[in-house]
Structure formats: structure tokens, C-alpha cells
């Protein structure tokens, strides 16, 4: 009973704080994501008002939040549309890797982290936050923009790459052999390919299964299917985000419209938990010593992400303003960076954990702000933008 009392009280306080922060952000036309992240810092271990009883509940909710955010993104596209976009952006993914992994690898080498630690830090700086960016695209009303398919292609290709990268890194960090690492990579990549093929061939059957007039049944079936697919993806060491995105891609027409409506309140609730959790996992006392290195790395990789988005949007024929929006929205780092650091924290000298968390909190806060500020840049040539559809 005391535990339940503490859980309810702390959770109620957390939700009340988030509601105030959300109202404040909306009042000034900004996304509430940066405020949620800072609230997590204040409410986590080492913060001004820790909420230990609510921490586990919020952490579980955060995992569901990422899944629902990516499900919502998938609902905006069809399998055929996105397959075409993915094929177009394989070169963009290569540019993304070169531009954004290299700074992390170089800094890791300079800090003497060894090749495993340098490989991990390369991943930290490479991968954008699907969860934060998914929420930003909705908050900024950019889901229908011409540059958005370019952004989503980069995110999904990064998440697919994680299916190979994380097993490889995990085995090597644990001292495993190369053949064991390559076997884990093969299993994960095969699972992702199988999921894409199944979504393309059996999508119509899943739509018939979900399509029911009863709203409660529809919601239960949709959530059940999404969580099963996301869990299966995690089981084979792929990304739950990719699994949820695939479910969203399958649904089209009226079923997709209904799914967006019924899932929206749950998505917003659990997404708030996700952003809060990033802050909760970070002890503010660990941040100051590595702040100069993290800040320098953040500046460099923010610029390289802008370059990535610019290149990807240009391949889709988007004008300069849209290219800049695509690059700015990709700046935020988050969940995968934290996961990568956790995978090698015992095999390094302890620097990578605080450095990663400092780096993530900088870009998780600054990224959404920069993405919003890009919209405030005055148009130079309005007729040209209309012609390009930007």
C-alpha cells in the first residue's frame, strides 16, 4: 500500500508538471519536447525533485511511446510509396553514415577509448532520434511536407542499420568472436527483410483482421498487433521502431484514418513519458566535466546532420528551404545513442556514458528548437517555392 500511494502521488505530480510545460510551449508556438527533457533532468536521480516510485512506470511507458510514435508515422504512407523512397535514399544513408559517424569515431580515438569504444561513439553521433523527430514532425505540422519522405527514409534506414550494428557491437564489447558477431548480424538482418516481405504480401489480410465497427475492438486489435510485431523485432535484435513503422505502412484508407484518430491520445501520453525518461536516466551531476567535449561534438554533428538532410531532400527535388527543414529536424539524438553507450559501458573506462548523456541532452533540447526556428526564416522567393512544392 505505501508503494501504491507513492506511485500514484508521484505520477500525478509528474503528469501535472508535464501539462503545465505543454501549455507553456503551446502558448509560444513551440514543441514541448525540450521542456519534457529538462523536466526529466529535474525529476531524475540527482535532480531537484526525484520521483523514484514513478520511475519504473514511466520507463515502461517510454518504450510504448516510441512504438506508438513510429506507428503514427507509418500510417502516413503506403508500403509501395515508402519502398520507392527507400530505394531512392540508399545513397543518402551512405552520406549520413560517413558525415555523422566519422566525428564520433575520431573523438573516441582521441580520447583513447579503443576501437570498440570508438565504434560505439561513432554510433552515438550517427543515429538520430526517431522518437523525438516523429513527435516534431507532428507538432510542426510537417507530415505532409515534400521533404518529410526524405527524413523518414533516413530514419528508417538508420533503424534498419541498427539491426546489424547493435548485435555486432554487443558481441564485440562482450569479448565475443567475429564469427559470433557476424552470425548475430545475419539473423537480425534476415528478420528485418522477412518483416518487409510479409508486410508487402499479407497487408490486405491484416487490414481485414483489424477492420471492425466496434471502436474498442479496433483499438485492442491495433495495439495488440503493433506491440506483438514490435516485440518480435526486439526479440531478434532488430528495432521495435521498425516493426511499429511497418504496421503503420500496411494500414491504408479508412482503416488508417481510424487508427490515427483512436491512437492519438495514447500516443501523446506515452510519447511524453518517452521524452521524460531520457532526462530521468541522466544524472545532472555527471554532465559538467565533459560539457566542452560534448558541446563541440554536438556543434559538429548538428551541422553534419543538416548536410545529410539537405542532400536527401535534394534527391527528392525539394527546394532549398525544404532541404534546410529536413536537415534541421534530423539534428536530435536520443534513445539509440543511450542504448549504444549502455552496450559498451563496462568495456570502456567510464567516459563514454557521461559523454553520451551530455551530448544527447544538448542535441535533444537544441534540435527541436532549431527545427522550429527554421520556419521563422523569411521567404526570399515565394514563387519559386510554390513551383517546387516546398
pLDDT digits (tens, 9 = 90+) for 209-231: 888 889 899 999 999 989 998 88
Residue 357 within a domain: yes
Residue linked to cell 531512392 = 88
The pLDDT of residue 178 is above 70: no
Task: Confirm whether pTM is higher than 0.85.
Answer: no
- Asked if residue 387 is part of any domain, the answer here is no
How would you write the chain as a 3-class SS string? Answer: CHHHHHHHHHHHHHHHHHHHHHHHHHHCCCCCHHHHHHHHHHHCCCCCCCCHHHHHHHHHHHHHHHHHHHHHHHCCCCHHHHHHHHHHCHHHHHHHHHHHHHHHHHHHHHCCCHHHHHHHHHHHHHCCCHHHHHHHHHHCCCCCCCCHHHHHHHHHHHHHHHHHHHHHHHHHHCCCCHHHHHHHHHHHHHHHHHHHHHHHHCHHHHHHHHCCCCHHHHHHHHHHHHHHHHHHHHHCCCCHHHHHHHHHHHCCHHHHHHHHHHHHHHHHHHHHHHHHHHHHCCCHHHCHHHHHHHHHHHHHHHHHHHHHHHHHHHHCCCCHHHHHHHHHHCCCCCHHHHHHHHHHCCCCCCCHHHHHHHHHHHHHHHHHHHHHHHCCCCCCCHHHHHHHCC
Instruction: Say which residue, 57 or 195, is predicted with more confidence.
Output: 57
Domain presence at residue 242: yes
User: Which of 16-25, 182-191, 278-287 shows the lowest mean pLDDT across its residues?
Assistant: 182-191
26-281-32 Cα angle (round to 5):
5
Residue 42 grid cell:
529535474
pLDDT tens digits, 107-155? 999 988 888 889 999 999 999 988 788 888 888 888 889 999 899 889 8
pLDDT at 191: 64
pLDDT at 333 over 50: yes
Q: Are 76 and 143 in contact (CB under 8 A)?
A: yes
Average pLDDT over residues 72-86: 72
User: CB under 8 Å to 97, separation ≥6 — which residues?
Assistant: 126, 161
348, pLDDT greater than 60? no
Max CA distance (Å), the chain: 65
Does 386 have pLDDT greater than 70?
Answer: no
Closest CA to 325 of 150, 72, 70: 150
- Answer yes or no: is 390 within a domain: no
Is residue 381, in this structure, part of any structural domain at all? no
pLDDT surpasses 60 at 384: no
Which residue range forms the structural domain that includes residue 93?
Answer: 2-141+149-375
Q: What is the number of residues in the chain?
A: 390
pLDDT tens digits for 238-255?
Answer: 667 777 877 887 887 788
CATH of the domain at 135: 1.20.1530.20
Backbone angles phi, psi at 28, to 5 degrees: -105, 10
**What is the gyration radius of the CA atoms in the chain, in angstroms?**
20
Residue 30 lies in a domain: yes
pLDDT in tens, 261-299: 899 889 888 888 887 887 777 777 777 888 999 999 999
Residue 388 lies in a domain: no
Q: Is 248 contained in some domain? A: yes
How many structural domains comprise the chain? Answer: 1
Amino acid at each position: 500500500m505505501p508503494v501504491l500511494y507513492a506511485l500514484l502521488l508521484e505520477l500525478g505530480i509528474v503528469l501535472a508538471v508535464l501539462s503545465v510545460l505543454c501549455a507553456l510551449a503551446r502558448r509560444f508556438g513551440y514543441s514541448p519536447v525540450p521542456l519534457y527533457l529538462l523536466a526529466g533532468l529535474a525529476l531524475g536521480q540527482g535532480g531537484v525533485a526525484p520521483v523514484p516510485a514513478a520511475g519504473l512506470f514511466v520507463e515502461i511507458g517510454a518504450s510504448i511511446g516510441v512504438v506508438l510514435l513510429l506507428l503514427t508515422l507509418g500510417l502516413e504512407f503506403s508500403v509501395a510509396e515508402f519502398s520507392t523512397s527507400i530505394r531512392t535514399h540508399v545513397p543518402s544513408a551512405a552520406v549520413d553514415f560517413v558525415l555523422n559517424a566519422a566525428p564520433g569515431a575520431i573523438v573516441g580515438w582521441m580520447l583513447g577509448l579503443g576501437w570498440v569504444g570508438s565504434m560505439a561513439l561513432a554510433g552515438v553521433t550517427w543515429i538520430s532520434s526517431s522518437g523525438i523527430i516523429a513527435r516534431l514532425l507532428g507538432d510542426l505540422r510537417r507530415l505532409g511536407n515534400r521533404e518529410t519522405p526524405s527524413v523518414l527514409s533516413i530514419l528508417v534506414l538508420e533503424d534498419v542499420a541498427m539491426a546489424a550494428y547493435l548485435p555486432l557491437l554487443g558481441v564485440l564489447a562482450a569479448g565475443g568472436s567475429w564469427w559470433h558477431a557476424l552470425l548475430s548480424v545475419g539473423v537480425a538482418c534476415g528478420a528485418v527483410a522477412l518483416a518487409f516481405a510479409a508486410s508487402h504480401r499479407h497487408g490486405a489480410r491484416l487490414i481485414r483482421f483489424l477492420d471492425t465497427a466496434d471502436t474498442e475492438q479496433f483499438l485492442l486489435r491495433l495495439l495488440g498487433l503493433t506491440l506483438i510485431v514490435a516485440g518480435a523485432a526486439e526479440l531478434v535484435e532488430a528495432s521495435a521502431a521498425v516493426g511499429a513503422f511497418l504496421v503503420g505502412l500496411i494500414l491504408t484508407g479508412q482503416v488508417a484514418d481510424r487508427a490515427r484518430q483512436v491512437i492519438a491520445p495514447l500516443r501523446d501520453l506515452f510519447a511524453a513519458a518517452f521524452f521524460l525518461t531520457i532526462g530521468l536516466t541522466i544524472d545532472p551531476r555527471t554532465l559538467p566535466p565533459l560539457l566542452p567535449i560534448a558541446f563541440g561534438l554536438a556543434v559538429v554533428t548538428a551541422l553534419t546532420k543538416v548536410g545529410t538532410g539537405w542532400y536527401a531532400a535534394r534527391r527528392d527535388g525539394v527546394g532549398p528551404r525544404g532541404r534546410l527543414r529536413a536537415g534541421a529536424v534530423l539534428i536530435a539524438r536520443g534513445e539509440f545513442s543511450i542504448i549504444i553507450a549502455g552496450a559498451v559501458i563496462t568495456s570502456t573506462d567510464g567516459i563514454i556514458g557521461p559523454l553520451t548523456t551530455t551530448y544527447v541532452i544538448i542535441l535533444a533540447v537544441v534540435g527541436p528548437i532549431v527545427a522550429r526556428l527554421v520556419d521563422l526564416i523569411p521567404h526570399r522567393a515565394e514563387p519559386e517555392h510554390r513551383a517546387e512544392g516546398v
